[in-house]
Amino acid sequence: MLQHAFKEWAVICEALAQGQQSLILRKGGIAENEGEFGVEHSQFWLYPTFVHQQQTGIQEEARPLLDQIEANRPPTGKLRLSLWAEVASVYRLRDELPALLLSHLHFWSEQTVLQRFNYRTPGLYVLVARIHRVPQVHEIDELPAYDGCRSWVELERPLSTEGSTPVLDDAHFRLVQKQLDLLLSSTAFA
């Protein structure tokens, strides 16, 4: 059972669901504590958002995925939760270069990465996350309490993760995690 959710663009949630990426980049929402992101929970639901999501914000190869997501969007006022994440590692990037060197591992455009990196205080967080899918999608009401530019949301009630399966098998995830950890820790920028 998990009661906390992490807001992320729906297209990025789908890339995570398909195993096309295993990292989450985060700067922090306007409504964050002092505008700074913090990893408040090590396990959480992925809350797919459509606000601010746009074609120019993602890499060209992700645009068909965005079209697919937009076509299958839930009805207004509804939220579909089918994925939860387990954070394996967290890095704070303090220089632009390592953030840009990760471009082959996520779908954000270079422009989006740079905008996020340079917003307020330069820097960006990288979460290496293992994604799990539940067998039955939870469709819940999208409450006004969930609105706002913030990363974390406390859901009205905990939702079951029973029967969930990892998107990547153990061996594949360990390989991805090792590659990311080596890349990020060896740069001396993490």
Q: What is the tens place of the pLDDT at every residue in 102-161?
A: 999 999 999 999 999 998 889 999 999 999 999 999 999 999 999 988 889 999 999 999
Identify the helix (H) or strand (E) that includes residue 43: strand 43-49
Distance, CA of 188 to CA of 4 (rounded, Å): 32
Largest CA distance in the chain: 45
Q: Dihedral angle at the C-alpha atoms of 32, 37, 40, 43, nearest 10 degrees? A: 120
Contact 7, 165 (CB under 8 A): no
Q: Read off the tokens for 39.
A: 């990893």
Banded pLDDT at 36 (limits 50, 70, 90): low
Q: Output the average pLDDT for the chain.
A: 90
Q: Which of 118, 113, 86 is nearest to 102 (CA)?
A: 113
The residues spanned by each domain of the chain are 2-186
- Residue 189's pLDDT is 45
What single letter denotes the amino acid at residue 178?
A: K
Task: Give me the mean pLDDT over the 7-29 stretch.
Answer: 92
